[in-house]
Amino acid sequence: MHNQFIKVHSTPNRARYKFSLLKDKYLDENILRTNLEKLEGVTSVRVNKKANSIIFHFDNISTCDEIENKLSTLDIEELLSSCEDAAVCVSCVSDEEPSTKGIIRASSALVGERFIQNDMLKAGITTAAAFPMLIDGSKELFSEGLTSKVLESAAVGISIYRKDYLAANSTNAMLELGEYIEETTVHKSDDLLKELSKPNVEEAWIEKEVDGKITEVLIKSIDIKIGDIVIVATGNTVPVDGHVIDGSASVNEVSMTGEAEPVIKQRGNRVISGTIVEDGRLKIWAEYVGSNTATQRIKHYIENSLNEKSSVQLKATKLADKLVPVTLGLAGVSYIFTKDFERTASILQADYSCALKLATPVAFKSTISKAGHQGIMIKGAKAIESLYSADTFIFDKTGTLTEGELEVISVESYDKDWTKEQLLNLTASTEEHYFHPVADAVVKAAKENGFVHMHHEEVEFIVAHGVKTEVDGKQVIIGSRHFLEDDEKIDFSIHKEKIDKSLSKGETLLYVGFDGKLLGVITLADNLRANAKESINRLRQLGVKNIVMLTGDTMKKAKMIADELGITEVRAELLPTAKAKIVKEFIDEGKKVAFIGDGINDAPALISAHVGISMSRGADIAKATADVALLKDDIAAVVEAKELANSTMQLINNNFKATVGINSVILAGATFGFFSPIVTAVLHNGTTIGLLLNSIKGVK
């Protein structure tokens, strides 16, 4: 499929294009820019995702042809694969460990200078140790203007000029230690990406027809197509997202859900890429392949998450940048009035920028990493901020407050010639090749009761209605009441009282027709999650003011469930399209909304809410559009995500107040001559390191 692009403007060395792929919500512009910069003749690329535009600078106008050819064929899968080599992708994670060379160099100079008497040798050692910082500061002055690094370099330079080598080396050592701590934290946070984006499975076995016979064929995993039957045996990694159609196996899902206990997978169960078959053998119907698998999407999400800045982070950066000229101005004024280089050096070291800029992103990254290891995929700092401020939680009932898996609770035959077991076997025989929650529940119940397959003719599936087939020349119809009674004209009047009684209890019924008559009904239920009520109560304790349940059930059934959970606000008998509208209503009322859902029809609501949360067994589109994707099937994870967000923002707010308060005192002390350069360096850098360590420790 070719992408759409439009050349908006061009000159001999510059061109701007509108590019359709930029509309993808989770496309990382850093990955795209790096990929395009590799084009021969291109000197630089600037991506504006909000405007869906890309600006190229190049050596020759002829390069435009190569650019346009690239834009027409580029896709998400190519971008993701380009990230496998960290050397060519600035957004990808480096395996390189943070270096201690800077700390060793600065510390050696600090200690060694104390034992040297010769001033020339002291100056040489100190200058050599500080040289990398002085060079970096000089470069940054010309490339970015006045920054904290420029001030730090100036402070060290002035101390060397004043022959205050102790102050210069102390400052240098503290700064190197702070930088090492930041790099270590970022490296540990990014370990999550490396853990989840395991090397792709290179080869896989699939079932294929060869010379009229079904056989197993080894192919490259990139050649797997939707609908292929993939065979995964003991010790192998699942290469696709799909459903088990045959076999049984113990599957380790720790890389995706954080749960160490293996899970038994059998027919009808969903499996996700990146998980490992520990024991057994599965045949999997491939539903999502290539870049659409959970592993690849998660890899892409985290790349965005670790680079995204929230509004509070941007606020901290903006404030830090504004305060740099203030610090420089105070230093200049102080020197004009006092002619005291020592006081000037002290002021230059009392800078807000380090603590403001470093502690906040480190706190966010620590939380994203911690959440990921707990089976909660938070897609960026903005999601944490939105989740913290959310005061209204809207739950789509099915699959969130309930298990999302129907269970047969009773079978009732209306024909004395048919036992309950025979009725169940007939239904299961017809439904066993149909991937649907109702079909799975019926087949599971039949197997638990000694399933005996009943021969039938080819099954016809009628979408949103049910199935039809023939047994012994007689028609079998299974599905909804509307399908049997209205469409197939089967008489329900004889059993109306029994049916109405079941419906009044809020039960879900599957109707079975045979030879033109209503043969019986199978009662199913989607049970409430055991910890749903506890989770609702915990959300209220965390400051959530409004909890709302949405459902397509009748109001009577919805009320029964809501009363059991202690939810007072219910919207029932809803069409799928109404959910996003309801979310918008609450937003228009000024509420901060979190929406929790799992179905394909939940995607608009997940996008509309301030923060969307998708359940682990939900549709792929729900996970793609959500801000928080749960990788473990537990409603308590919603509460855990809220707790992490609250704790993180509290930590950041405390760090922010401490930074401004402590550094203001240090700056005032340096300005009035109370603190020497060494004291200022220790106080300022000690504060920065303390706040970084606090952020690394992160939320409890």
DSSP symbols for 426-454: HHHHHHTT--SHHHHHHHHHHHHT-----
Q: What's the distance, CA 532 to chain centroid?
A: 23
CATH of the domain at 23: 3.30.70.100
Q: Which of 214-218, 279-283, 290-294 has the highest mean pLDDT?
A: 279-283
156 pLDDT higher than 50: yes
Looking at per-residue confidence, does 637 or 212 come out higher?
A: 637
Element (H, E) at 425: helix 420-431
Last residue of a domain, one of 526, 553, 586: 526
DSSP symbols for 492-545: -GGGHHHHHHHHHTT-EEEEEEETTEEEEEEEEEEEEPTTHHHHHHHHHHTT--
Residues 503 and 427 in one domain: yes
Looking at per-residue confidence, does 124 or 290 come out higher?
A: 124
> For 482, which DSSP code?
I
According to the model, what pLDDT value does residue 86 have? 34
How many whole angstroms separate alpha carbon 480 and alpha carbon 486? 10
40 pLDDT higher than 60: yes
76 occurs within a structural domain: yes
Q: How many domains does the chain have?
A: 4
Is the dihedral angle over the CA atoms 548, 552, 553, 554 positive or is it negative? positive
According to the model, what pLDDT value does residue 199 have? 45
493 occurs within a structural domain: yes
According to the model, what pLDDT value does residue 699 have? 55
92 pLDDT higher than 50: no
Residues 557 and 484 in one domain: no
Least confident span in 213-217, 498-502, 599-603? 599-603
Per-residue pLDDT of 456-465, as tens digits, reads 998 888 866 7
According to the model, what pLDDT value does residue 198 have? 46
3-state secondary structure of 129: helix
CATH of the domain at 456: 3.40.1110.10
Joined tokens for residue 229: 């039957």
113 occurs within a structural domain: no
How many whole angstroms separate alpha carbon 478 and alpha carbon 471? 13
191 occurs within a structural domain: no
615 occurs within a structural domain: yes
Least confident span in 9-13, 76-80, 591-595, 610-614? 76-80
486 occurs within a structural domain: yes
Residues 390 and 534 in one domain: yes
- pLDDT more than 90, % of the chain: 26
According to the model, what pLDDT value does residue 578 have? 84
Residues 391 and 441 in one domain: no
Residues 433 and 522 in one domain: yes
Q: What's the distance, CA 436 to chain centroid?
A: 27
pLDDT tier at 230, thresholds 50, 70, 90? very high
Which residues are known catalytic residues? Answer: 396
Residues 452 and 542 in one domain: no
Dihedral of the CA atoms 342, 346, 349, 352 (nearest 10)?
-150
DSSP symbols for 485-505: IIIS----GGGHHHHHHHHHT
Least confident span in 198-212, 457-471, 573-587? 198-212
Residues 511 and 448 in one domain: yes
Least confident span in 323-332, 376-385, 544-553? 323-332
Residues 220 and 276 in one domain: yes
According to the model, what pLDDT value does residue 640 have? 95
Over residues 62-72, the mean pLDDT reads 86
Least confident span in 35-39, 139-143, 265-269, 314-318? 314-318
CATH of the domain at 615: 3.40.50.1000
Cα angle for residues 462, 468, 471 (degrees, 5° grid): 165
Per-residue pLDDT of 620-653, as tens digits, reads 555 666 889 887 888 999 999 999 999 999 888 8
How many whole angstroms separate alpha carbon 227 and alpha carbon 287? 6
Last residue of a domain, one of 46, 64, 88: 88
End-to-end CA distance of the chain: give it in Å, rounded. 47
For 65, what's the count of Cα atoms within 13 Å in the CB-facing half-sphere? Answer: 2
Per-residue pLDDT of 464-510, as tens digits, reads 678 999 999 999 999 989 899 999 999 999 999 999 888 877 778 99
Over residues 296-321, the mean pLDDT reads 57
Per-residue pLDDT of 157-198, as tens digits, reads 888 887 888 878 887 887 787 677 667 755 655 554 455 444
Looking at per-residue confidence, does 513 or 1 come out higher?
A: 513
Question: Closest Cα to residue 397, out of 259, 557, 250?
Answer: 557
258 pLDDT higher than 50: no
Q: In what order do the strands lie in the sheet with 517-528?
A: 402-413, 517-528, 508-514, 474-479, 466-471, 460-462
Over residues 338-351, the mean pLDDT reads 74
Tokens 């192919």 belong to 219
> For 619, which DSSP code?
-
Joined tokens for residue 639: 């509460």
pLDDT tier at 550, thresholds 50, 70, 90? very high
Over residues 536-543, the mean pLDDT reads 95
Last residue of a domain, one of 228, 263, 288: 288
8 Å CB contact between 478 and 431? yes
Structural Rg of the chain based on CA atoms: 32
53 pLDDT higher than 70: yes
Residues 545 and 637 in one domain: yes
Range of 268's domain?
203-236+240-288
How many whole angstroms separate alpha carbon 322 and alpha carbon 508? 63
3-state secondary structure of 469: strand
291 pLDDT higher than 80: no
Over residues 44-69, the mean pLDDT reads 84
614 occurs within a structural domain: yes
- pLDDT more than 70, % of the chain: 81
CATH of the domain at 207: 2.70.150.10
Provide the phi-psi class of 145: left if phi over 0, else alpha when psi is between -120 and 50, else beta: left
How many whole angstroms separate alpha carbon 191 and alpha carbon 98? 13
Residues 533 and 632 in one domain: yes
pLDDT tier at 439, thresholds 50, 70, 90? confident
How many whole angstroms separate alpha carbon 578 and alpha carbon 566? 23
Phi/psi at 221 (5° precision): -60, -30
139 occurs within a structural domain: no
Tally Cβ neighbours within 10 Å of residue 657: 10
Residues 244 and 275 in one domain: yes
What's the count of helices (H) and strands (E) in the chain, helices before strands? 24, 24
The per-residue pLDDT of the chain, averaged, comes to 81
How many whole angstroms separate alpha carbon 16 and alpha carbon 255? 41
Residues 522 and 597 in one domain: no
Cα angle for residues 474, 477, 480 (degrees, 5° grid): 165
According to the model, what pLDDT value does residue 514 have? 96
According to the model, what pLDDT value does residue 200 have? 54
DSSP symbols for 621-686: HHHHH-SEEESSS-THHHHHHHHHHHHHHHHHHHHHHHHHHHHHHHHHHHHTT-S-HHHHHHHHHH
